[in-house]
Amino acid sequence: MIAPAKPELVTVNIDGKEIAVPKGMNVIEAARQVGVDVPHYCYHPKLTIVGNCRMCLIEMGMPAVDPATKAPVMDPATGKQKINWIPRPQIGCATNASAGLHIRTQTPQVKDCREGVMEFLLINHPLDCPICDQAGECKLQEQSTGYGRGYSRFIEQKNVKPKRTLLGPRVMLDDERCILCSRCIRFAKEIAKDDVLGFIDRGSYSTLTCYPGKKLENNYSLNTVDICPVGALTSTDFRFKMRVWFLKQTNSIDPESSVGANTVAWSREGVIYRLTPRRNDEVNDTWMADSGRVLYKAVTAADRLTAVKVNGADSALDIAVHAAGELFKSAAGAVAIVGSGRSSVEEQFLTKKLATALSASTHLVSRVGPGDKILVSADRNPNVRGALVTGLIPALPAAQLTALGAAIDAGKVKTIISVGEDLFAAGLNATQLAKVAVVYLGTQANATSEAAKVVLPTLTVFEKSGTFVNQQFRLQKFLKVVPGASGATDDLVVLAKLVAATGGTVPSDLNPLWKVLAAEVPALGPVTFANLPETGLLLDATPWAALPFVEGETLHFKPAAQPAAVTA
Amino acid sequence: MPAPAQRRIIFQHIDEPGYSNDLACYVKHGGYEVMKRAYARPPAELVEEVKKSGLRGRGGAGFPCGVKWSLLDRKSGKPIYLVVNADESEPGTFKDRYIMHQDPHQLIEGIMITCFANNVKQAYIYIRGEFPHGARILEKAIAEARAANFVGPNVLGSGYGCEIYVHRGAGAYICGEETGLIESLEGKRPYPRIKPPYFPAVLGLYQCPTIVNNVETLCHVKYIAEVGGEAFARIGTPNNTGTRILCVSGHVQKPGYYEFEVGKITMGQLLNEVCGGPLPGRTFKAVIPGGSSAKILKFGERFKGKRKVGTEMVDYDWAVEDVPMDFDSLGMIGTMGGSGGVIVMDDTVNMVEALANINAFYAHESCGQCTPCREGSLWMKKISSRMVHGDARPEDGQLLKSVADQIAGRTICAFGEACAWPTQSYVAKFGDEFKGYADAKKTAQPAATTLV
């Protein structure tokens, strides 16, 4: 990887504190670095600057120089170079750092500007916080505590605008709450590349709406809800479900594709209420796809596996593991393992251990779909690279389990351990499945779990901790959001018990397991689970550089070379 | 002192009997001769003439035209555009319309000289939507000029090519703001752009360097090309050169447009002598000197201070009638020359009602992009409309002023000032009328008609 060019640093002075920041960095970001908060609404670090909310007004000055000689003009009172302050307040979002820039954010004028904007934003606002979903994470509420009046001077009629407009299947709009910051419009145009939002009418009657005949229904529409600083845009899924201040935030990873968007899962008392993106400038910026936001529903879905079964009858974990051990013995040398690109690195490592203990052949199910060039990649498995790193598989999985099918037909495989994969969907037919005994580990019921001799319910990604390796070979961790469903057991425990059934021992707790991982997997040498940064860690991908990965270009990712598989 | 005589340069042929807006008539009066001579000169020389002339923009801000041209980013390699601001929408202003209606070729000649001087290959005339007739006249005039090879791919056989296109607005005041105009020309909502970074001279139309000049300004450029920058600079007063068209409307005997050397005539001379004074039995109460957004002047108030005359500073002590009608003098007394729209109000006018009218206009015209203007302009309108049509409170005047103070200087474009200045100045100068309006209303004449 080529190191990015070092940006030129310039020294700026913010409220008397000097700091070196990259030239051109805007004042809101520069101030953040010295711990100064510049309130704002329309500014968003990942969208173009429009400067329309006027909340970030600050005082700006430059060192005085003599126009003729270009020599610095000194202030005799302080002995320092004189600062020429611009009388008009400037917006922080569009003021870029240059050498010697001076900023004041705590003056009476700045305070007056902020209070003025706050008052203006609230005069036509419905002030319906008690019934508003944004309450608790609303910028208007936050800034009101600092710059609000506490009473209103506005005795006129408020503007009336449309309420409860469905912009698309997932996004509801309340125009009266809208402060016209245009973040959603810019997002739709610049990030989602689906230019469907705009303003109609003018002045204070301006109204956000979709263009005639259009809907906000792209797969990124819910990001507009995230970036809406007020309660104008709300999620039809989350609306009226829970007050945000009751929710616990847990870092997670979007498992829908190998992009590995960083997410936050919001839960209360063991129930997940929503998933939102978590900022990672190297992976997903501040965005995620709508399709990834509904995955938490698998936790309580009707098809969730919650009962251990042996030969179709309810059983107990240890009995079932024993039954599986018997199957392994009876099929000694004829066991195959279908691992999963949805398993965590740790689970894949234990799967590999199990395969070694059983001298089993290993397979992986491929999931390829069209990439959307944003945050859903062509590889719909979140962790195929983890399987490569841990050595579970030596090369990329074939499109179908044809080789396994052939081995079954040839009588070389008698027992199959499937880690959450539906073997029918992966290309095996009923005749082939009838010839083998299946040990199924998984979270959701499917045709394979129906046909399995032994069913061992495991946990969804939201009920356990672990790591994925995304398309950039970035090792990213997800944490347990809610306790596991009753009747389901942590995948690592199940795998460790299966290994034990073969006579081996492996740790099933993450920390001791990572000691083994670090010792045995070269790429993971320097890592421990505990010290893995929140934004992930890039692994050395050189051993796999020649593999024809299926991903095309997405946000912050460019494939090394266009793989032949895509064009074929 | 008697008023000086009008000096009609731009309006030389306006209302002249027998003068028509076709090419033949223009050529008969020496039209396009200046352009022919200008095209024989090096373009840089023409720019230099304009700089020397001291010509200040006639659209409202009074920015020096030569400086504006010299700020153009000529090294970017991008095409340079000229955009003619014919969106004459400041209430009280009606000068560009007559140029376009009666003497369109004067404008076209000015455009073609400006384009040649600045190496512009495409010029756009952005004409307000309410001027359909003007747009038709311009289209016809451009077609005539193109047929006569004054406009087109090879102007006058010089090898230099330039096209002029007419673009009609859709009826919004904000399209007169140069960056709002550019956005509108690009087919978007006319939201003014933030400056920095979007200075038209660097990132203008289609992100290319762009000159935006007013119609009258470009006609002056033609005259400067004719007589030279130094000769032009001798007209008017130092730093306020040339002539200025003053559009007088309101309560005077002879409203209309008058062209004078800048700064050579005072407000009193203009209103009392040129315009015939107040209507019978009435007295002047207030005057807006430069379009409705300029701060109002109250007859009876005095302005004191020091001003530069030549090289020395001299004291001045002016009544409204003594103020010379130039950019600097009007700026010194806290208002502006603006677009030249002089609006006169006599003693029959109630200032609360006058302000309610102006506030209604600005609330209607606020584009809605940035918070202070969007919310503040409508709030002011709601207050002043309530005062006129509902309950007026003694404290409303101060509330109005407080709202206006929260707008001016904090917006993306100058509309913030345009909508705040009237309120600020009306309340400051006629505060008693605002305080006592509730009582005054009880004894007043029949109520004004409901505002839009």
Per-residue pLDDT of A496-510, as tens digits, reads: 999 999 999 999 999
User: Which amino acid is present at B408?
Assistant: A
* Residue A348 shares a structural domain with residue A458: yes
Q: Give the Cα separation of B323 and B334 in Å (integer).
A: 12
- Cross-chain residue pair A88–B409, CB shorter than 8 Å: yes
Number of domains making up chain A: 3
A116 in any annotated domain: no
Nearest to B367 among A55, A113, A202 (CB): A202
> Per residue, what are the HEC states of B403-421?
HHHCCCCCCCCCHHHHHHH
Supply the range of the domain harboring residue A52.
Answer: 9-106
| Set of chain A residues whose Cβ sits within 8 Å of the Cβ of B371 | 52-55, 117, 120-121, 179-180
ipTM: 0.94
| Set of chain A residues whose Cβ sits within 8 Å of the Cβ of B363 | 203-204
* Residue A384 shares a structural domain with residue A527: yes
Place of tokens 């009046």: A149
- Whether the Cβ atoms of residue B241 and residue B235 lie closer than 8 Å to each other: yes
A119 in any annotated domain: no
What is the predicted pLDDT for the residue at A231? 97
Asked which of A68-82, B32-46, B161-175, B317-331 is least confident by mean pLDDT, the reply is A68-82
**Residue A367 CA: distances (Å) to CA of A85, A342, A370, A425:** 60, 10, 10, 10
What is the predicted pLDDT for the residue at B311? 86
| Closest residue of chain A to B383, computed from CA coordinates | A156
Residue B34 has pLDDT above 60, yes or no: yes
Best of A109, A120, A159 to substitute, by most chain B Cβ atoms within 10 angstroms, is A120
- Whether the Cβ atoms of residue A37 and residue A26 lie closer than 8 Å to each other: no
Best of A123, A183, A202 to substitute, by most chain B Cβ atoms within 10 angstroms, is A202
What is the predicted pLDDT for the residue at B443? 76
Give the predicted TM-score (pTM) of the model: 0.94
Beta bridge partners of A176: none
- Cross-chain residue pair B379–A50, CB shorter than 8 Å: no
CATH number of the domain residue A172 falls in: 3.30.70.20
Shortest Cα distance, chain B CAs vs residue A206, angstroms:
6
* Residue A161 shares a structural domain with residue A268: yes
What residue spans in chain B does CATH classification 3.40.50.11540 cover?
A: 23-234
- pLDDT grade for A75, boundaries at 50, 70 and 90: confident
| Closest residue of chain B to A117, computed from CA coordinates | B372
Which residues of B make CB contacts under 8 Å with A?
A: 172, 189, 191, 194, 196-197, 363-372, 374-379, 382-383, 386, 399, 402, 406-407, 409-412
- pLDDT grade for A567, boundaries at 50, 70 and 90: very low
- Cβ pairs A/B, distance under 8 A: 95
Q: Would an 8 Å CB–CB cutoff place A201 in contact with chain B?
A: yes
> What proportion of chain B, given as a percentage, has pLDDT over 90?
94
A residues 21-60 near B, CB within 8 Å? 49-55, 57
Mean pLDDT of A183-187: 98
What is the predicted pLDDT for the residue at B448? 57
In 3D space, the residue among B165, B166, B91 whose CA is nearest the CA of residue B127 turns out to be B166
* Residue A98 shares a structural domain with residue A208: no
Shortest Cα distance, chain B CAs vs residue A56, angstroms:
10
Per-residue pLDDT of B420-438, as tens digits, reads 999 999 999 999 999 999 9
Structural tokens at position B204: 């203008």
| Closest residue of chain A to B393, computed from CA coordinates | A155
| Closest residue of chain B to A41, computed from CA coordinates | B371
Residue A152 has pLDDT above 80, yes or no: yes
A4 in any annotated domain: no
Per-residue pLDDT of B228-270, as tens digits, reads 999 999 999 999 999 999 999 999 999 999 999 999 999 999 9
Residue that wins the pLDDT comparison between B167 and A6: B167
Class of domain B23-234 as given by CATH: alpha beta
- Whether the Cβ atoms of residue B401 and residue B380 lie closer than 8 Å to each other: no
Nearest to B371 among A53, A88, A157 (CB): A53
Chain centroid to CA A214: 27
Q: Would an 8 Å CB–CB cutoff place A123 in contact with chain B?
A: yes
Q: Give the Cα separation of A375 and A292 in Å (integer).
A: 10
| Closest residue of chain B to A178, computed from CA coordinates | B371
Residue B449 has pLDDT above 70, yes or no: no
Element (H, E) at B286: strand B284-288
Q: Give every CB contact of residue A128 below 8 A, 6+ residues apart in sequence.
A: A177, A231
A350 in any annotated domain: yes
The three-class DSSP label of residue B37 is helix
Per-residue pLDDT of A91-142, as tens digits, reads 999 999 999 999 999 999 999 999 999 999 999 999 999 999 999 999 999 9
Per-residue pLDDT of A315-326, as tens digits, reads 999 999 999 999
| Set of chain B residues whose Cβ sits within 8 Å of the Cβ of A205 | 368, 378
* Residue A485 shares a structural domain with residue A379: yes
What residue spans in chain B does CATH classification 3.10.20.600 cover?
A: 245-346
Strands of A262-268's sheet in order across:
A248-253, A262-268, A271-277
Last residue of a domain, one of A300, A326, A341: A300
Last residue of a domain, one of A300, A330, A346: A300
| Set of chain A residues whose Cβ sits within 8 Å of the Cβ of B416 | none
Nearest to A156 among B191, B377, B383 (CB): B383
| Set of chain B residues whose Cβ sits within 8 Å of the Cβ of A206 | 368, 374
What residue spans in chain B does CATH classification 1.20.1440.230 cover?
A: 351-442
Per-residue pLDDT of A395-443, as tens digits, reads 999 999 999 999 999 999 999 999 999 999 999 999 999 999 999 999 9
What is the predicted pLDDT for the residue at B447? 55
Place of tokens 């002249």: B16
- Residue A189: how many CB atoms within 10 A of its CB? 17
A120 in any annotated domain: no
Nearest to A199 among B189, B386, B411 (CB): B189
Mean pLDDT of A277-288: 97
Asked which of A16-30, A248-262, A550-564, B157-171 is least confident by mean pLDDT, the reply is A550-564
- pLDDT grade for A3, boundaries at 50, 70 and 90: low
User: Which amino acid is present at B168?
Assistant: R
Q: Would an 8 Å CB–CB cutoff place A108 in contact with chain B?
A: no
- Whether the Cβ atoms of residue A178 and residue A198 lie closer than 8 Å to each other: no
- Cross-chain residue pair B370–A119, CB shorter than 8 Å: no
Strands of A474-478's sheet in order across:
A466-469, A474-478, A537-538
| Set of chain B residues whose Cβ sits within 8 Å of the Cβ of A154 | 379
Class of domain B245-346 as given by CATH: alpha beta
- Whether the Cβ atoms of residue B101 and residue B141 lie closer than 8 Å to each other: no
* Residue A243 shares a structural domain with residue A346: no
Residue A1 has pLDDT above 60, yes or no: no
* Residue A225 shares a structural domain with residue A254: yes
Per-residue pLDDT of A227-249, as tens digits, reads 999 999 999 999 999 999 999 99
Q: What is the CATH number of domain B351-442?
A: 1.20.1440.230
Residue B318: Cβ-neighbour burial (10 angstroms; 0-12, 13-18, 19+): buried
A115 in any annotated domain: no
* Residue A193 shares a structural domain with residue A174: yes
- Cross-chain residue pair A91–B196, CB shorter than 8 Å: no
Per-residue pLDDT of B188-205, as tens digits, reads 999 999 999 999 999 999
pLDDT, chain B, mean: 95
- Cross-chain residue pair A156–B366, CB shorter than 8 Å: no
Per-residue pLDDT of A474-492, as tens digits, reads 999 999 999 999 999 999 9
Asked which of A70-84, A340-354, A383-397, B162-176 is least confident by mean pLDDT, the reply is A70-84
Shortest Cα distance, chain B CAs vs residue A75, angstroms:
28
Per-residue pLDDT of B12-21, as tens digits, reads 999 999 999 9
- Cross-chain residue pair A53–B172, CB shorter than 8 Å: no
Q: Give the Cα separation of A552 and A560 in Å (integer).
A: 9
What is the predicted pLDDT for the residue at B451? 55
A114 in any annotated domain: no
In 3D space, the residue among A150, A159, A230 whose CA is nearest the CA of residue B377 turns out to be A159
In 3D space, the residue among B69, B70, B65, B74 whose CA is nearest the CA of residue B208 turns out to be B74
| Set of chain A residues whose Cβ sits within 8 Å of the Cβ of B366 | 202-204
Beta bridge partners of B221: none
| Set of chain A residues whose Cβ sits within 8 Å of the Cβ of B378 | 124, 159, 203-205
- Where are the strands (E) in A141-296, listed by range? 165-166, 171-173, 197-200, 207-210, 233-235, 248-253, 262-268, 271-277
* Residue A68 shares a structural domain with residue A166: no
Nearest to A116 among B366, B367, B406 (CB): B406
A residues 61-90 near B, CB within 8 Å? 88-89
* Residue A215 shares a structural domain with residue A319: no
Q: What is the DSSP letter of B381?
A: H
A residues 157-176 near B, CB within 8 Å? 157, 159
* Residue A16 shares a structural domain with residue A72: yes
* Residue A359 shares a structural domain with residue A283: no
Shortest Cα distance, chain B CAs vs residue A116, angstroms:
6
Residue B412 has pLDDT above 50, yes or no: yes
